[in-house]
Amino acid sequence: MIGMLTGLVSHIEGDRCLVDVNGVGYVVSASAHTLGLLSRPPEVARVFIETIVREDAIQLFGFADVEEQEWFRLLTTVQGVGARVALAILSVSRPTLLWQAVQAGDKLPFTQAAGVGPRLATRLLTELKAKVAKMPVPGGGASMGVVGTDAIVAAPAQNEGVEADALLALEGLGFRRAESWPVVRRIIGEAENAELDYVIRLALQELAR
């Protein structure tokens, strides 16, 4: 069972990337969030891995941090939520937003994901309510691995409030969360204590190209 990969990101396409570990290429499916944090090819990255073994295939799913991986596992415990749907949910909403949505009974962060309709969103809220109550509040989990070729460094914790508000503002302007998430995340990561208007302005400049 593969739990983590550290290797050369040689290719990113769609919802997956190819990680070259000592000459062996591993196809890893991941959320838009994780793919947005990966170093551009050809750079070295480290991702946490969830291995799913089926009769006809072995699938690898990669995560930016342990927290995202735990929520992937949690989401797939819900009837009707497979690995692909779980990744779709994590591509449009971070664990903090999902946790808040479950507490508030808000379907929106779930229905924004491809493959999640109102009925499935209701089931997610119902089945996750008790499970989420036993989990720590997201935001303090171990960060991961997106690294340069010289050293492995943990991704710093970011201002979740600014990130969430920026994503909502961009959605209101017509941008899909899946495309704006990596841009917003990177801007916040590059500018310490970035203000909301600054993040939105830079994100708009890049997304409007």
Residue by residue, DSSP assigns 157-188 as: P--HHHHHHHHHHHHHTT--HHHHHHHHHHHH
> Which tops the pLDDT comparison, 39 or 193?
193
pLDDT of residue 97 exceeding 50, the answer is yes
Query: What integer pLDDT is reported at residue 156 of this predicted model?
Result: 40
Q: Using one digit for the tens of pLDDT, what is the confidence trace for 122-136?
A: 999 999 988 887 776
pLDDT of residue 118 exceeding 60, the answer is yes
pLDDT of residue 157 exceeding 60, the answer is no
Cα separations in angstroms, 146 against 47, 48, 49: 7, 10, 13
The yes-or-no answer to whether 4-63 and 160-207 have a common fold is no
Domain boundaries, the chain: 4-63, 66-133, 160-207
Query: What integer pLDDT is reported at residue 45 of this predicted model?
Result: 85
* Residue 43 near residue 9, CB atoms below 8 Å: yes
* Residue 188 near residue 158, CB atoms below 8 Å: yes
Q: Using one digit for the tens of pLDDT, what is the confidence trace for 18-57?
A: 999 989 999 999 998 888 887 667 778 889 999 998 888 8
Fold that domain 66-133 belongs to in CATH: DNA polymerase; domain 1 (1.10.150)
Above pLDDT 90, what percent of the chain? 34
pLDDT tier for residue 147 given thresholds of 50, 70 and 90: very low
Query: Of 190, 127, 198, which is closest to residue 162 (Cα–Cα)?
Result: 198
Fold that domain 160-207 belongs to in CATH: Helicase, Ruva Protein; domain 3 (1.10.8)
Query: What integer pLDDT is reported at residue 159 of this predicted model?
Result: 57
Mean pLDDT across 109-118? 92
> Which tops the pLDDT comparison, 186 or 26?
26
Considering the segment(s) 4-63 as one domain, its CATH architecture is: Beta Barrel (2.40)
* Residue 170 near residue 200, CB atoms below 8 Å: yes
Mean pLDDT across 56-68? 90
State the average pLDDT for the chain. Answer: 82
Query: What integer pLDDT is reported at residue 125 of this predicted model?
Result: 95
Q: Which residues are CB-contacts of 21 (< 8 A; sequence separation ≥ 6)?
A: 5, 6, 7, 8
pLDDT of residue 155 exceeding 50, the answer is no
Long-range contact set of residues 21-25: C-beta below 8 Å, sequence gap at least 24: none
pLDDT tier for residue 172 given thresholds of 50, 70 and 90: confident
- Asked if omega into 109 is within 30° of 0 (cis), the reply is no
* Residue 161 near residue 127, CB atoms below 8 Å: no
pLDDT of residue 184 exceeding 90, the answer is no
- Asked if omega into 42 is within 30° of 0 (cis), the reply is yes
DSSP class of residue 4 equals E
Query: What integer pLDDT is reported at residue 24 of this predicted model?
Result: 93
13 three-state secondary structure: strand
Tokens of 40: 């551009």
* Residue 183 near residue 209, CB atoms below 8 Å: no
CB-neighbour burial class of residue 102 (10 A; exposed 0-12, middle 13-18, buried 19+) = buried
